[in-house]
Structure 1
Amino acid sequence: MSGCCSPALFLLLLFSGGLFLCAADVGDFAPCLQFFYKSWPPKGLTGTPICQRYVNQYRFSTLYSRQRRSPWFSGYVYGAPAGKRPTAAWKFEPQLAYPGADGNMIPFPPGPLDQNVLESQAVELDYINSTYSRGHLNPSLHHQSREDRYATFTLTNVTPQKAGSNDGPWESLEQTVNKTLAAYCLGEAYIVTGIIPYQSGEPWLRNRVAVPEYMWSAYCCPKYNVSLPERLKHTFPTYAAVGRNDRNSTEEIVPVDQTAKKQFRGYDVRQMSLQTLETYLKDRFSAVISVFYEQCSGSD
């Protein structure tokens, strides 16, 4: 057991049913490049790559910020959902706490957590009785199998999101993307969803988890039905959106719809081209951010 993890975590893995493989899935996207168009992860952001593994299969990919204890983005392949949203146990990544630990995400155990887990990532107590919901970057709605949907319930795929966004305009965006891709995308659709931090004065949840000012998402569907309705012709092969996570933010990126329902006003989502999104990302991150290989226009 030397070099893998502590005896306490070993017992935790056995208790939870995790396989003790001593194989980390952190620090390299190489095992899970299939979740990105042309096996090409977004460029321009730095963080800790995670190949998200559940029940011994890779499900999606995440670029994680250890300092923020939240993801920069998650990348996945869209699947038409089957059934209602599942109720799943929230999970964590043992390999973030111990590099030699099993790469399978596992449910949080009852009782106190190992200190290494607390320091390496967000935990359930960070969100309980807070003013923020657990906002999926990779939503269960965009997957078909039960295991793929369960896998989205890991806190490394979650950012602090206001309920007015999570239950309002952002949820509507996820539903719109779901219906559009299910109806018109003829091949695989690749989605990357991420966050935009505040320029300054960033709030923190429990002084542990950084809260984003905006969320963004973009899809790439290189093979699609060319007989699109006029209203959707500008949404293929790529489309993108930015959503407000702070109703008091300026309207520079996303204007506020004054006719929106009161409980959702200020949490608006602005849909836009991929190029426009990348311009906003460049301005906020002071770096050139490329979401898809050749902006999803590369030859097959």
Structure 2
Amino acid sequence: MCQRKMLQSSMGALLLLLAWLGGLVLGEISKDFSECLNFFYERTPPQGITAAGYQPICQRYKNQYHFASLYHRQHRTPVYSAYVLSPADGKRPNSTWMYEPQLAFSRASSEMKTFTTPMDQNVIESQAVLQDYKNSNFTKGHLNPSMHQKTRENREATFTLTNVVPQKAGSNSGPWSRLENEVLRKFKTFCNGSMYVITGSMPYKSEPRWINNRVSVPEYMWSAYCCPSFRASLYTSATPFFPTYAAVGRNDRNSDEDIVPVNVKARASVRGYDVRRMTLESLEEILAQRLGMPISLFQGQCQV
């Protein structure tokens, strides 16, 4: 009897140890971004964003961290994705879409996985799935675009539904795409070090709008960058755009014009999906008003 109790006690201690070790190994879904702080300026995530249901994700693919996302579980979309910009050294990869297993199972693999058929019901309940976007009249809008990532693995890692929001095609392939290319050009021309980018979505002011009664549709997209080391002495004309700059883009051509005015002279296919460039401070004021939170995106406003 004594030996049996000792064996049971030892087994219990071993199980507790394994559970504890497992928590260390599978720590990407956690209360903070402690495993991927290098994607934020001064290793500091945006401050002031506090709400129930917001889940930090260190986006892991092929045993490597590639960027960070703050995910809204109830809306099944990311609030933002944060990354260090690095121009692509190749073409856009084929879009093999993935999901985050740990949103469905806390003890699951920390690696994002490719969608399979049929999907586990726990995955379907925990996050957006490909079926949500089918026949929705929305594209899968990357917050961290693949062409802002250097290696093939970096670019492939952006094809996870925890990095996309429902985005109208007129925005995704029009003014918003031009903004992404513009940021890339500014980085190549003026940035003398790392450029930290945070891109997010802004819900409707009144009440959420949904696709498939499951995935929240943003009214606006927004983005901001921080490049503390820039060549201002060589390009004084670029000074207004550094060390920080920001933008807000319309994702609903019928929205009011209080945040982003409409260019009525734009061609019909993209009219109403305008992007307004602005200072970081202006973006933070808009986010604070719309989300009801005092938001600071970059530590010390990216001032060296």
Deviates more, 1:206-215 or 1:22-31: 22-31
| 1:59 Cα offset (Å) | 0.3
Question: Who is 1:89 aligned against?
Answer: 96
Q: Which amino acid aligns with 2:207?
A: G
1:231–1:252 CA distance, 2 compared to 1 (3 A): farther
Q: Which amino acid aligns with 1:245?
A: N
| 1:145 Cα offset (Å) | 0.4
Question: Who is 2:38 aligned against?
Answer: 34
Question: Who is 1:45 aligned against?
Answer: 49
Question: In structure 1, the residue corresponding to 2:261 is in which secondary structure?
Answer: coil
1:207-239 alpha-carbon deviations (Å, 9 max, x no partner) = 000001001000000001124545422000000
Q: Which amino acid aligns with 1:92?
A: Y
CA distance in 2, matches of 1:22, 1:84: 33
8 A Cα contact 1:214 1:242, kept in partner: yes
Ranges in structure 1 where 5+ consecutive residues have no aligned partner: 4-20
- Cα RMSD, aligned residues only: 1.4
Q: Quick check: 1:23 aligned with 2:26?
A: yes
| 1:24 Cα offset (Å) | 3.5
CA distance in 1, matches of 2:299, 2:27: 27
Question: Who is 2:251 aligned against?
Answer: 245
CA distance in 2, matches of 1:232, 1:244: 25
Q: Quick check: 1:74 aligned with 2:77?
A: no
8 A Cα contact 1:88 1:153, kept in partner: yes
Question: Who is 1:152 aligned against?
Answer: 158
Question: Who is 2:168 aligned against?
Answer: 162
CA distance in 1, matches of 2:289, 2:170: 26
1:172–1:292 CA distance, 2 compared to 1 (3 A): same
Normalization by structure 2: what TM-score? 0.89
CA distance in 1, matches of 2:235, 2:175: 23
Question: In structure 1, the residue corresponding to 2:252 is in which secondary structure?
Answer: coil
Q: Which amino acid aligns with 2:44?
A: W
| 1:44 Cα offset (Å) | 1.8
8 A Cα contact 2:102 2:110, kept in partner: yes
| 1:25 Cα offset (Å) | 0.8
8 A Cα contact 2:90 2:151, kept in partner: no
CA distance in 2, matches of 1:144, 1:174: 15
Q: Quick check: 1:65 aligned with 2:65?
A: no
8 A Cα contact 1:22 1:100, kept in partner: no
Larger Rg: 2
Q: Which amino acid aligns with 1:201?
A: E
CA distance in 1, matches of 2:231, 2:93: 31
Q: Which amino acid aligns with 1:264?
A: V
Ranges in structure 2 where 5+ consecutive residues have no aligned partner: 1-14, 17-23
Write the mapping of 1:198-237 to structure 2, written as runs, cut at 5 A: 198-237=204-243
CA distance in 1, matches of 2:234, 2:148: 21
Write the mapping of 1:115-194 to structure 2, written as runs, cut at 5 A: 115-194=121-200
| 1:201 Cα offset (Å) | 3.3
| 1:120 Cα offset (Å) | 0.5
Q: Which amino acid aligns with 2:166?
A: P
Query: 4+ residue runs of structure 1 moved beyond 3 angstroms?
Result: 227-231
Question: Who is 1:107 aligned against?
Answer: 114
Q: Quick check: 1:295 aligned with 2:297?
A: no
8 A Cα contact 1:24 1:99, kept in partner: no
| 1:200 Cα offset (Å) | 1.2
CA distance in 1, matches of 2:237, 2:131: 44
Q: Which amino acid aligns with 2:115?
A: F
CA distance in 2, matches of 1:34, 1:229: 28
| 1:88 Cα offset (Å) | 2.9
| 1:22 Cα offset (Å) | 6.0
